[in-house]
Structure 1
Amino acid sequence: MRRALRNKLDHLRPGALSKLEPVGFDSNRMRRPLPPLQTLIAFEAAARLQSFTLAAAELNLTQPAVSQQVKLLEHRLGVKLFRRRNNMILLTEQGEQFAEDVAEILNTLGESVQNLAPDAGRTTLTVSLLPSFASTWFAARAHRFVTANPTVDLITLSTVAKTGFGQEDADVAIRWGPGGYEDGYEERLFGEKHILVASAQTAETLRDMSDINALADRPFLHDTNYSEWRAVIEKNGGDPAAFERGAFFGDSSATVNAILYSQGIGVVRDVIAQHLLVSGALVQLPFEPVKGPYSYHFICPERRVEQPRVQAFLTWLRKEAQSP
């Protein structure tokens, strides 16, 4: 056996490889050497956070160590990835493109490693959500996904920033807007309406009131991000000018809670208030709603949409979108 093995190896001695070229083996083709993985990790973090200091904190390294790794990478590639100005770093044009590629490669590698992890089939799904949506509609339902999918650990990121897969740790996202996400898979979940509401206790005192103008002396709580409250008042025969005074909140969930804990009224998005309407804590007053201009959409990179954990989440979302 040893002699047979030695004979095979003899065929691969210098000059022997050229004999294989006619059948498709190119002895001159070699994998291009890649930079060390740690330099790519340091660069990706610095590019995403736009800071060596923040990248160092995330990676549990010192700031000089991250800076040195990036310099090593730049030297290896022969290009400048950052412009350094005083205490700031800015990606060069080549750095921007490379950052996107590196982020995608590291994400894909991370997913592959996760899929191989021998942890009884467990996996993690990170979802990016708007804060108001995360703390209301989603928070009231998340337990149902966890119960139905016990092998998936669900992590939520609350952010108002535009989702950039590769620039944040999210696997998928739910965003509110007109739609038209161009860089991956998108699916419309549901729209919304703007409704006039009050707490259950306050609504009880208003049940015989049919003229919306008669509510003008009530404390009116406004969501400063939206002007649809004017449309609701007008649609029901009221004068918006009579409702311009009151309290103003810059967050939809804060507006809903302010109405809940006061004797006031206000116009809110039904999606954000839905869990309180179902429980009876908030009551929709008997006035016509106004359809909102935007919808909620599920989005994710195309490469992830067929993953079992993503399909499980999307199936659950479709079901929840049809239930109160």
Structure 2
Amino acid sequence: MRRKIPSTTALICFEAAARHESFTKAAQELALTQGAVCRQIGGLEDFLNVELFRRSRRGVKLTEAGLSYSRQVATQLDAVERDTLSVMRQQGANVIELAVVPTFGTQWLLPRLKDFQHRHPEVTVNLTNRTRPFLFADTPFDAAIYYGDADWSGTQSQRLMGENPLPVCSPALLGGESTLDARRIAGLPLLQQTTRPYAWRQWFNGQGLNIAGDMTGPRYELFSMLAQAAMHEMGVALIPPFLIQRELEEGRLVVANRHALSSSRAYYLMIPDRKVESASLRAFRDWLAEQAQAYIASRKGDAPS
């Protein structure tokens, strides 16, 4: 069935005219005559059976329908342009489009990625934030790093490491103590992580405690947000140490209690079945597993990974 889509030329003329609210300026931008722009927009209005501009001797002004449509068209044209440039850049290149959970990507992966580039200069790795699983078929992604149980249909997984978060806070909240016991921590504001809603409950239960307010407190989606809130003395947060190494080394955050939250869930590299034979993805998978093992070995004295 033929799609109900107007010509690209008409949409480009309309977007430029809507942005300038001027057929003349649109024509100048597009290197067309004003008459050509007028004809394209007139044809678009006929196609839609909707008036997009009000014409007067003073010029043109978008109608309400025209304003709404112009915003949608601009967004879609921008997307088409981005996709086109992406294809042009990737021509003849090995590119991995990687979805990655944000804080893991910025705090752990990026500082190590230069080593992969050095070993495999022919491969480019692009990173995009994604916090939850998705359908690979509906996206441009070749692989994903996410935290969970590896139950992701149509993929193969490579386990990287566990989280093993510890309670951390600003040194000011310790009140001169080196550490706090679990009951003292329960009396402080508990900063919650949106995607780990039961983390504090599991941490307290691991020490044989049932705390009535273990799921109350402000919620933040990213560990980087939790870290900022904790540094500003807003409460105690459960954060994996490898995501806040600099903050711990500089003393902006301190470990309030050495009891780590243990979980069977972990960070995984997920590769869709249709991509597992990709040489560049295999190289990235092997390198990533090596980096994770090296990190785990370097932290043997800390909580288990």
Q: What TM-score do you get using the length of structure 1 for normalisation?
A: 0.55
Structure 2: any 5+ residue segments left out of the alignment?
Answer: 16-42, 48-68, 70-86, 300-305
Amino acid aligned to 2:181: D
1:215 paired to 2:185: yes
1:143 paired to 2:90: no
Deviation at 1:302, TM superposition (A): 3.4
Render the CA deviation track for 1:174-220: whole Å, top value 9, x for unaligned.
Answer: 1222223341332222222232112456568330x453323344443
Task: Summarize the alignment of residues 1-324 of structure 1 with structure 2, pairs less than 5 Å apart.
Answer: 117=92, 122-199=93-170, 205-207=176-178, 209-225=179-195, 226-236=197-207, 240-241=211-212, 246-262=217-233, 264-270=235-241, 272-273=243-244, 276-277=247-248, 281-322=252-293, 323=295
SS of 1:160's partner is: coil
Q: Structure 1 residues 182 and 231, CA, compared in 2 at 3 Å: closer, same or farther?
A: closer
Q: Which residue is 2:56 aligned to?
A: none
Distance 2:285 2:256 in 1: 33
Q: Which residue is 1:76 aligned to?
A: none
Q: Structure 1 residues 62 and 52, CA, compared in 2 at 3 Å: closer, same or farther?
A: farther
Higher CA-based Rg: 1
Q: Structure 1 residues 60 and 153, CA, compared in 2 at 3 Å: closer, same or farther?
A: farther
Distance 1:148 1:204 in 2: 48
Contact 1:126 1:170 in 2 (8 A): yes
Amino acid aligned to 2:119: A
Distance 1:169 1:60 in 2: 25
SS of 1:241's partner is: coil
Q: CA RMSD in A?
A: 4.0
Distance 2:118 2:171 in 1: 31
Distance 1:147 1:131 in 2: 23
Q: Structure 1 residues 187 and 217, CA, compared in 2 at 3 Å: closer, same or farther?
A: closer
Deviation at 1:252, TM superposition (A): 3.0
Deviation at 1:153, TM superposition (A): 1.9
Q: Structure 1 residues 321 and 263, CA, compared in 2 at 3 Å: closer, same or farther?
A: same
Distance 1:210 1:304 in 2: 48
Q: Structure 1 residues 234 and 52, CA, compared in 2 at 3 Å: closer, same or farther?
A: farther
Deviation at 1:321, TM superposition (A): 1.3
Deviation at 1:156, TM superposition (A): 0.8
Amino acid aligned to 1:229: W
Tell me the number of residue pairs that the alignment of Structure 1 and Structure 2 aligns: 223
Distance 2:13 2:154 in 1: 33
Q: Structure 1 residues 278 and 165, CA, compared in 2 at 3 Å: closer, same or farther?
A: farther
Distance 2:203 2:237 in 1: 10
Amino acid aligned to 1:262: E
Q: What TM-score do you get using the length of structure 2 for normalisation?
A: 0.58
Amino acid aligned to 1:198: C
Contact 2:100 2:145 in 1 (8 A): yes
Give the fraction of aligned pairs with identical amino acids, expressed as a percent: 22
